[in-house]
Structure 1
Amino acid sequence: MRARASFTKEFCVFLHLIMGKQKKGSASQNVQASKTASRSQPNANTGKPKGSDSDSVSVKQEPLDWKKLNPKTEHYEFGGPFGAFAMITLLPVLVLAFAFGCDSTGYDPLHRLYAFASDIVQGNFSWEMLSSLAASWKPSSLLWFLGFLAQIITYSIAMPGETVQGTKLRDGTRLTYKLNALSAAQTGFMISMLSHKSQGLYAPLWVYHNFPHLAVASLIVAFAVSIGVYVASFIGKPRLLALGGNTGNPIYDFMIGRELNPRIGNFDLKFFTELRPGLLGWLVIDICMAFKQYATLNRVTNSMILVVAFQAIYVLDALYNEVSILTTMDITTDGFGFMLAFGNLCWVPMMYSLQARYLADFPVDLPIISVIAIVGIEVLGLYIFRSANSEKDKFRTNPNDPSVKDLKYIETKAGSRLITSGWWGKARHINYLGDWLMSIAWCLPCGFNSVIPYFYCIYFAILLIHRERRDDDKCRKKYGEDWEKYCSTVKYRIIPGIY
């Protein structure tokens, strides 16, 4: 799954850039899980344990030392508690600013937000006006959003799928996951099409007209889920916590995520939330915006077709490669808290659909040469991203595969292999280049009458550069001289020959 799909921490890092570096001194958080006591092996003839004269066998296992498994976090990220509070408050405000500040009269979310905030600071408002704003929200949007989630949950549980094991956890266990995201999505779309067949364009037009109210509904659900998993992490039997979410500061732990893998029975909340509601909600909104354009123009512009097609390819690709998220930091390392819940339930569907929303309000007809150029950028980005990631995955899982067996690499003292040829010999993060090219192809169909549709690709470029710098620092500390040797061989960071 591409870097973009991990919300997921994108805008959080962006705010981190603004607010400064980490506040607490770092400390090692690597923990060894307690080992089970060695068990006596039964004698094949007598059934008694070897070396025992007793007729009874007592098999004992040392209880898990939860204090060692869940050490206190002493390393803050994203600006610590202050940064966490800013994210919890400012990110929802930004979502609402883009939801209510972008419509057919103009796309000026930041200007409208500034004007609204200025009126409040100067006292140019009345409580009646504020209460009327709150009262104007439509509760039916919350029912719609909850119904959408209920369908996805139902299909995810009921549909068959391949059962796989995740990575080994600190307590020595492996969780099982059912992979059926694509089949659940297909079922959901088919049932929705059949159920709305007699209603014409009522449903997609309702989504368009009530988009701001749906944004509020997604925020309510995101906060409810975040609060629920945070409170539950203190209740009942001891739980495996995220190494980065056990600081004891409620604001920070609530934002970053305290429990590693909260589950209801076998239903993994984080695994479900990571892809399905956000990506499918994003695609549904895109499709609804295309129908809105059709209702207005009696046709769909080529720019809208490009945006919906490009983003649909991304969504379907992520669902098809669902197994890949089991090795991402979101699943293996990060806790499930506000950052992931908000990112996938609210930020992804409400912010990533910005280009489709813009084209629904301000249609753009592209000349054929522009269409060809934009498709070329998308295909190039997708090819670089998918080829590079596939090459690395094959090298990690099966280095004798014919397609990667001839790759050159550096064997590090840490035991890792750093590829110095193929895609990864061109740049140390060549996949970031492909990812960014695709983000540009998503924005270009909107034309150049407004900078707002380009919000994503602008901050995404900043975040990729920042992410590459953080990774470089981590690898420099981990590999030492081997990393210096690697960098002297693979000289460019993201763009070959340039950066």
Structure 2
Amino acid sequence: MSAVASEPAGLRQRNVSGNRSNGATISDEGKKTDLLLDSHVEYEFGGPWGVVAIMTGFPILMYYLWICLVFYDGQLVRPDSMDDFKPFLFRMWEHIRQDASPNAYAWKVYTGLIAYQLLLAWIVPGYMQEGLPVPSLGYKTLMYKCNAVWCIYITMVTAAVLHTTGIFRMTEIIDNFGHLMTVAMIYGFGVAFGMYFLTVATGNQIRMSGSFIYDVFMGACLNPRLGPVDLKMWLEVRIPWVIVFFMSVSGACKQYEQYGSVTPNMAFMCLATWLYLNACGKGEELIPQTWDMFHEKWGFLVIFWNFAGVPFSYIYSVVYMASHDPSNYRFSTPTYVLLYSTLLTAYYIWDTSMSQKSRFKMQTQGIFSYRKTFPQLPWGTVKNPSFIQTAHGNRLLTDGWWKYSRKPNYVADWIMSLTWGLVVGACSPIPYFYSVFFIVVLIHRCGRDFERCAFKYGKDWDRYCSVVKYKFIPGIY
């Protein structure tokens, strides 16, 4: 294991003997492990047949849930009998054909958003953040232009001007949900397949399995860029969460036009989606330190999900409230207090835990710089944090929220997703799709993550698990 002369300021090591190394300095054994991890070893998601099922099944599920939500009072419908099966499918198809066609209006709106967000990402000045060393690039680091926070608020001002002048009314977003969803799906499929063919044609593919459809799903490229814009980070922040926020604003505008006021429930969703969007923008410099940027390739799994999955399946509560009388989901004042308090508490833990982990990695690299974007919450940075130095060369944080759980951010994130369903109470099961689907995703992702960590760090991972005993909820699991 390589040794360095000095330790980055503000870090302390826990229970480690032997030489100490900078977390950005990888040992020879660590490089061998990284080489294995950075190659295709085994299939995930059920292999080629599994990803085909996901790529076909999930869009169908999105259409079905939307139809139930809008046309069947938010209740899950099914054929009355086997004789009704074909008529049932025909009714479903007619809803898609008439109310979710990829019409010219939807193409104009969705493409306009993409073009505007790309333009802003390109031209707006931003903070330059160094990422983690990338094994497939010989441990070189990439620079990321972080200007999302300014781009987001420029977009908000633009939307306000368009709405108040009548050029583009915000209510049109929720009114054209089905049409926009179909266009988003087409973008998801088109970009995923297009990027695969472009990457292979230019010889930049990595970690390939040899199965065409599986490699389209997982991706062929790692760090695609368009000028100064890192497309993977751009898509993760600028499209899904911008749409989610404006979908909530659109629902609030529709409610106000219909009833003359906005319910606390809809206001809750505006706050919840703003918190998430603003967090992505104000902490954008932390994203290059995440697994998504460092390891996950840019394939259908990420592309479709950000173009279509997140913005059109996480926001069902808003779609329900925008099409139903508020008396269906009116709560008592104590219930609203509890709901808002739960959201804000979970948000605080999620925001600060994400910040602690990413800033710890930046401290390890010696590239940490404090950005004064709003809001910077207390305990977002752990001073003099404890950690476990691994033989690989990386460090495992054992301080802050991360001494109580191996995934405190996941727990808080899931609780926030649950409140997005609770906001409509028991009116419909469909708004709970986000939290149900999300917990499945998180458990699966944790399994992938813990398996890689066990392989990557060996006995050091066992030692880490003995210090941080709980996977999710401290004292429980």
Q: Which category of TM-score, normalised to the shorter sequence, fits these structures?
A: 0.7 to 0.9
2:158 corresponding residue in structure 1? 191
Aligned length: 426
Whether 1:451 and 2:415 are equivalent positions in the alignment is no
Structure 1: which amino acid aligns with 2:475? G
Which of 203, 206, 216 is equivalent to 1:242?
206
Paired residue secondary structure (2:55): helix
SS of equivalent residue, structure 2 residue 170:
helix
1:209–1:117 distance in 2 versus 1, CA, 3 Å: farther
Rate the CA distance shift 1:455–1:155 in 2: closer, same or farther, 3 A.
Answer: same
Identify the residue that residue 184 of structure 2 maps to in structure 1: 218
Aligned twin of 2:475: 497
Deviation at 1:290, TM superposition (A): 1.0
Task: State the SS of the aligned residue for 2:128.
Answer: strand
* TM-score normalized by the length of structure 1: 0.76
Distance 2:347 2:383 in 1: 24
**Are residue 282 (structure 1) and residue 247 (structure 2) matched?**
no
Change in 2 beyond 3 A, CA 1:193/1:117? farther
The answer to whether the aligner puts 1:87 opposite 2:54 as a matched pair is: yes
Quick check: 430-439 or 340-349, which moved more?
A: 430-439
Alpha-carbon distance in 2 for matches of 1:286, 1:314: 12
Q: 1:358-384 deviations in whole A, cap 9, x for unaligned? A: 222232322110111112211221222
| Matching of residues 100-115 of structure 1 within 5 Å | 100-103=67-70, 105-108=72-75, 110-111=76-77, 114-115=78-79
> Could you tell me which residue of structure 1 aligns to residue 233 of structure 2?
271
Q: CA deviation at 1:357?
A: 1.3
TM-score computed with the length of structure 2 as normaliser: 0.80
Q: Following the alignment from structure 2 to structure 1, what is the Cα–Cα distance between the partners of residues 63 and 124? A: 35
- Following the alignment from structure 2 to structure 1, what is the Cα–Cα distance between the partners of residues 219 and 162? 38
- Rounded Cα–Cα distance in structure 2 between residues aligned with 1:409 and 1:165: 22
Secondary structure at the residue paired with 2:331? coil
In the TM superposition, residue 406 of structure 1 has moved relative to its aligned partner by 5.4
User: Could you tell me how far 1:284 is from its partner in structure 2?
Assistant: 1.1
Matches within 5 A, 1:279-318: 279-318=241-280
Describe the SS at the equivalent of 1:436.
Answer: helix
Which sits farther off after the overlay, 436-445 or 314-323?
Answer: 436-445
Q: CA deviation at 1:308?
A: 1.3
Which whole-Å CA distance do the structure 1 matches of 2:389 and 2:147 have between them? Answer: 37
Q: 2:323: which partner in 1? A: 361
Contact 1:119 1:125 in 2 (8 A): no
Distance, in Å, in 1 between the alignment partners of 2:240 and 2:88 is 37
Q: Which amino acid aligns with 1:187?
A: I
Q: Give distance in 2, aligned partners of 1:428 and 1:333.
A: 19
Which secondary structure state, in structure 1, belongs to the residue aligned with residue 171 of structure 2? helix
Q: Please say if 1:397 is aligned against 2:356.
A: no
1:333 aligns with 2:295: yes
Cα deviation for residue 302 of structure 1 reads 0.6
Summarize the Cα distance change of 1:365–1:422 in structure 2 as closer, same or farther, 3 Å threshold: same
Distance 1:117 1:310, change over 3 A: farther
1:282-336 CA distances to partner (integer Å, 9 max, x unpaired)?
1111110111111221110011111210121111111111122212232222222
Relative distance call for 1:381 and 1:96 in structure 2 (3 A) is same
Aligned residue number for residue 119 of structure 2: 154
Q: What amino acid maps onto 1:320 in structure 2?
A: K
How far is the alpha carbon of 1:263 from its aligned partner?
Answer: 3.1
Counterpart amino acid of residue 457 in structure 1: S
Q: Tell me the alpha carbon deviations over residues 322-355 of structure 1, each in whole angstroms, 9 at most, x when there is no partner.
A: 1222122322222222111111110111112212
- Pick one of 437, 442, 458 that aligns with 2:415: 437
Residue 214 (structure 1) shift: 0.9
Contact 1:254/1:337 (CA < 8 Å) preserved in 2?
Answer: yes
Which protein has the larger Cα radius of gyration, Structure 1 or Structure 2? Answer: 1
Find the aligned partners of 1:395 and 1:267 in 2 and give their Cα distance. 25
User: Which residue of structure 1 lines up, in the alignment, with residue 144 of structure 2?
Assistant: 177
> Structure 1 pair 80/203, CA: closer, same or farther in 2 (3 Å)?
same
User: Cα 1:423–1:372, aligned 2, differ >3 Å: closer, same or farther?
Assistant: same
* Contact 1:99–1:215 under 8 Å retained in 2: no
Q: CA RMSD in A?
A: 3.2
- Tell me, which stretches of 5 or more residues in structure 1 are unaligned? 1-27, 33-68
How far residue 258 of structure 1 moved from its aligned partner, in angstroms, is: 0.9
Corresponding letter in the other structure for 1:197: T
Q: Relative to structure 1, is the Cα distance of residues 312 and 132 closer, same or farther in structure 2, using a 3 angstrom cutoff?
A: closer
3-state SS in 2 of match to 1:471:
helix
Residue deviations 1:423-481, cap 9 Å, x none? 22222222222222222222222112222111212232333334334433333333333
Cα offsets for 1:245-289 (capped at 9, x unmatched): x12211111111112223344443323212101111111111101
Higher relative contact order (CA 8 A, sep 6+): 2
User: Does residue 166 of the first structure (1) align with residue 128 of the second (2)?
Assistant: no
1:287 alignment partner AA: V
Letter in 2 for 1:368: T
In 1, Cα distance between the equivalents of 2:290 and 2:314?
Answer: 21
Work out whether residues 171 and 250 of structure 2, in 8 Å CA contact, stay in contact via their aligned partners in 1.
yes
- Secondary structure of 2:288's counterpart equals helix
